[in-house]
């Protein structure tokens, strides 16, 4: 059995509070059945207080079962405050009438009725406050959890950036020696080791750049998507001379700030090329402007994005059995979401069209707006397209 001290500590005295008032008012009805003769007297003298005390008891039981003793104590304090305040008001009312020569009938019952009303008011305020306290505790827990996850992310990033990179650099150096071996078998295997070590080095670079991106502040300026596409694809053509790249952009296509917009454009164009097995892969890039949005279409004539790969991005989650082959499309997904845009994949009879829709931003100034390519944002952190390649996308 629980001791009285534990009942007080756990807040379960609230149950006794509600049941005690319930028995008091029910007993008054039993010994004074005449209070039911008139409806106002029945409601305000007996039925109302009985319902109120039953409500306090029900609240106490529900809190104990659903929210635990912490919330029970929390609400119990408010019930006690409401009961004491109402009891004082009832007593002062009785004293006031007596000082004015009026003696209220059944003064004790009057004070108990007022006190019961105070317990109900206290329970309602207590439930609201307990719910707010639970939300506050949950938020504090989530903040601590986020802080812990952030700390672990920094540790993991340090391992990828320093420890793993240093060891892989050693492997890469020895692999280069194997490539120069006169034995063709050793040379071939050394080349494989060197390629894989370069992918791991690239992975460590991506970890560093992504951390810098997450910790950087996004500058609220207008970006001309048309200028970004034109400039980035000129460099892309030089990097992939075998690809045929068609570009159709308007004079201006103003959008809001998009993190790594230039890198996003290159990643979409690169995915269209490296997944294409044609000798001369075709990439068509078009920027379409509407009244309230700007859309970037990147079309190819390749086999398209695999269904399993697309399902990952449509669901927004990865699993051990269903995951993306690389980081490129995730970078696109995150950047578009950060900018408040939409990413869409659409199949064609030949190839796939990837569309990015971004909110349009028109400058109110008569002067030409300053074009800010997100590449400058990337350059600030030494972020390049190559740093986002960890192998075939």
**Of 35-49, 97-111, 132-146, 168-182, which range is least confident?**
35-49
What pLDDT is recorded for position 231? 92
More confident residue, 341 or 76: 341
Residue 345 C-alpha from the chain's centroid: 24
Most confident of 8-17, 41-50, 198-207, 225-234: 225-234
User: What are the structure tokens assigned to 200, written together?
Assistant: 């791991």
More confident residue, 140 or 52: 140
With a pLDDT cut of 90, the percent of the chain lying above it is 12
CA distances from 288 to 232, 301, 355 (A): 17, 20, 10
How far is Cα 315 from Cα 329, in angstroms, rounded to an integer?
A: 13
What pLDDT is recorded for position 228? 92
What phi and psi values does residue 31 have, to the nearest 5 degrees? -90, -15
What pLDDT is recorded for position 26? 66
Q: Is the pLDDT of residue 196 over 90?
A: no
Residues sharing a CB contact under 8 Å with residue 184, sequence separation 6 or more, in sequence order? none
Average pLDDT over all residues of the chain: 75
Q: Is the pLDDT of residue 61 over 90?
A: no
Q: Is the pLDDT of residue 364 over 60?
A: no
What pLDDT is recorded for position 287? 94
How far is Cα 209 from Cα 201, in angstroms, rounded to an integer?
A: 13
How far is Cα 289 from Cα 266, in angstroms, rounded to an integer?
A: 20
Which of 275, 297, 279, 278 shows the shortest CA–CA distance to 287? Answer: 297
What pLDDT is recorded for position 391? 41
Q: What is the pTM of this model?
A: 0.54
Residues sharing a CB contact under 8 Å with residue 264, sequence separation 6 or more, in sequence order? 258, 331, 332, 335, 336, 356, 374
**Of 63-72, 77-86, 276-285, 326-335, which range is least confident?**
63-72
What pLDDT is recorded for position 393? 39
Q: Is the pLDDT of residue 207 over 80?
A: no
Q: State the CB neighbour count (10 A cutoff) for residue 279.
A: 6
Which pLDDT tens digit goes with each residue over 329-339?
A: 777 887 888 88
The residue assigned the tokens 């492997």 is 171
**If you average pLDDT over residues 339-344, what whole number do you get?**
88
Q: How confident is the model at residue 35 (pLDDT cuts 50, 70, 90)?
A: low
Burial class (CB in 10 A: 0-12, 13-18, 19+), 14: buried
Dihedral (Cα; 211, 214, 215, 221), 10-degree rounding: 140
What pLDDT is recorded for position 166? 84
**If you average pLDDT over residues 191-219, what whole number do you get?**
70
Which of 224, 228, 247, 225 shows the shortest CA–CA distance to 237? Answer: 247
Q: Is the pLDDT of residue 28 over 80?
A: no
What pLDDT is recorded for position 377? 40
More confident residue, 214 or 238: 238
What's the half-sphere exposure (Cβ side, CA atoms, 13 Å) at 229? 28
**If you average pLDDT over residues 288-316, what whole number do you get?**
78
Most confident of 74-88, 98-112, 215-229, 244-258: 244-258
What pLDDT is recorded for position 340? 86
Q: Is the pLDDT of residue 211 over 80?
A: no
More confident residue, 113 or 13: 113
Q: How confident is the model at residue 216 (pLDDT cuts 50, 70, 90)?
A: low
Q: Is the pLDDT of residue 200 over 60?
A: yes
Q: Does residue 340 contact residue 256 with C-beta atoms inside 8 Å?
A: yes
Q: Does residue 43 contact residue 82 with C-beta atoms inside 8 Å?
A: no
Which of 369, 44, 67, 47 shows the shortest CA–CA distance to 220? Answer: 369
**Of 8-12, 22-26, 238-242, 282-286, which range is least confident?**
8-12
Residue 80 C-alpha from the chain's centroid: 39
What phi and psi values does residue 357 have, to the nearest 5 degrees? -110, 125
How far is Cα 76 from Cα 56, in angstroms, rounded to an integer?
A: 10
């Amino acid at each position: 059995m629980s001791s009285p001290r534990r009942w007080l500590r756990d807040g379960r005295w609230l149950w006794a509070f509600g049941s005690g008032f319930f028995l008091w008012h029910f007993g008054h009805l039993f010994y004074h059945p005449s209070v039911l003769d008139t409806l106002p007297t029945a409601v305000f003298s007996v039925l109302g207080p009985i319902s109120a005390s039953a409500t306090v008891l029900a609240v106490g039981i529900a809190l104990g079962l659903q929210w635990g003793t912490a919330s029970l104590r929390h609400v119990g304090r408010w019930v006690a405050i409401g009961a004491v305040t109402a009891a004082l008001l009832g007593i002062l009312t009785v004293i006031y009438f007596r000082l004015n020569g009026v003696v209220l009938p059944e003064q004790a019952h009057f004070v108990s009725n007022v006190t019961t009303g105070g317990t109900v008011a206290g329970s309602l305020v207590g439930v609201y406050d307990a719910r707010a306290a639970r939300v506050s505790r949950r938020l504090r827990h989530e903040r601590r959890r986020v802080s812990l996850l952030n700390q672990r992310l920094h540790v993991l990033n340090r391992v990828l950036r320093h420890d793993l990179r240093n060891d892989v650099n050693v492997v890469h150096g020895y692999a280069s020696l194997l490539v120069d071996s006169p034995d063709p078998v050793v040379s071939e295997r050394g080349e494989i080791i060197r390629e894989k070590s370069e992918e791991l080095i690239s992975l460590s670079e991506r970890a560093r750049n992504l951390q810098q991106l997450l910790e950087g502040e996004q500058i609220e300026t207008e970006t001309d998507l048309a200028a970004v596409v034109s400039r980035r694809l000129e460099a892309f053509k030089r990097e992939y001379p075998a690809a045929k790249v068609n570009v159709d952009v308007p004079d201006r296509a103003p959008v809001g700030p998009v993190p790594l917009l230039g890198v996003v454009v290159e990643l979409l164009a690169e995915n269209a090329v490296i997944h294409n097995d044609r000798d001369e892969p075709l990439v068509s890039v078009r920027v379409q402007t509407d009244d309230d949005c700007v859309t970037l279409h990147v079309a190819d004539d390749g086999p398209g994005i695999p269904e399993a790969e697309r399902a990952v991005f449509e669901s927004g989650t990865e699993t051990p059995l269903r995951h993306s082959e690389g980081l490129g499309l995730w970078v696109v997904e995150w950047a578009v979401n950060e900018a408040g845009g939409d990413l869409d994949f659409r199949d064609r009879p030949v190839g796939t069209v990837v569309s990015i829709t971004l909110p349009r931003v028109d400058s109110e100034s008569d002067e030409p707006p300053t074009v800010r390519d997100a590449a400058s944002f990337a350059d600030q952190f030494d972020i390049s397209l190559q740093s986002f390649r960890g192998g075939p996308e």
